[in-house]
Amino acid sequence: MVPDRSPSPNRGSAASRPRTLYTPAERVRRDATVWTLVQGVLAPVQFVICLISLVLVGRFLATGNGYETAAVSVVVKTAALYAIMITGSIWEKAVFGRWLFAPAFFYEDAVSMLVIALHTAYLAMLVCGWGTPTDRFAVALAGYASYGINAAQFVFKLRAARLEAGGDRAGAVDSARVLA
């Protein structure tokens, strides 16, 4: 007799069940790697740097004062972004076995590439003297806007991981990728 493999109304088909964010093995690797802690520390630090820089850039754009401080703040924000992206890539390799674009974080990584491109464009403009300060800060603000979208993606993933795990500590470790 051949077993009945049709989906039961109680179980649902494999195609209709949502993919969990982490397999049990990935969850163990996520909880065991030091890169989770590194990401968990860098994410809020980068967020605070972004807020400070946003105020400084806004002040310059509104008043024309404080260009150097605003420019340095964008460079510091970009350095923090590079740090979190490099360590995030190492985290992804440790947890998912690939440096970037693991299925669980594919869209977040795709938007992260835009964030990096805009921040890098700002640095290129600054170093090469391209554009006016206002032009450069417009690119930086576009980078900050894309960073905001990216941060929201990661916050959504953090929430999904917490709900998936029933609200236990599993979601807390996902803050490792929040605000990348």
Number of domains composing the chain: 1
CB 173 within 8 A of CB 31: yes
Asked whether 177 and 95 are in contact (CB, 8 A), the reply is no
Distances (CA, A) of 49 to 36, 65, 110: 20, 19, 22
Q: For residue 4, tell me if it sits in a domain.
A: no
pTM above 0.85, yes or no: no
Q: Tell me, what's the pLDDT at 7?
A: 42
**Residue 179 pLDDT grade (very low, low, confident, very high; cuts 50, 70, 90):** very low
pLDDT digits (tens, 9 = 90+) for 119-174: 999 999 999 999 999 999 999 999 999 999 999 998 888 888 778 777 544 444 44
Chain segment 73-112, per-residue pLDDT in tens:
999 999 999 999 999 999 999 999 999 999 999 999 999 9
* Domain presence at residue 133: yes
Q: What residue numbers bound the domain in which 111 lies?
A: 24-177
With contact defined as beta carbons under 8 Å apart, do 104 and 176 qualify?
A: no
Residue 158 domain-assigned (yes or no)? yes
Q: How many CA atoms lie within 13 A of 52 on its CB side?
A: 16
Alpha-carbon distance of 107 to 101, in angstroms, equals 8
| Cα 51 to the center of its chain, rounded Å | 16
User: Is 114 a domain residue?
Assistant: yes
Give the span between the Cα atoms of 86 and 92, in whole angstroms.
10
Q: Which amino acid is at 81?
A: L
Q: How many CA atoms lie within 13 A of 7 on its CB side?
A: 9
User: Which of 157, 153, 150, 156 lies closest to 119, judged by CA?
Assistant: 150
Is residue 1 domain-resident?
A: no
Q: Give the pLDDT confidence score for residue 178 in this predicted structure.
A: 45
Within a domain: 17 = no
Q: What span, in angstroms and rounded, lies between the C-alpha atoms of 120 and 180?
A: 15
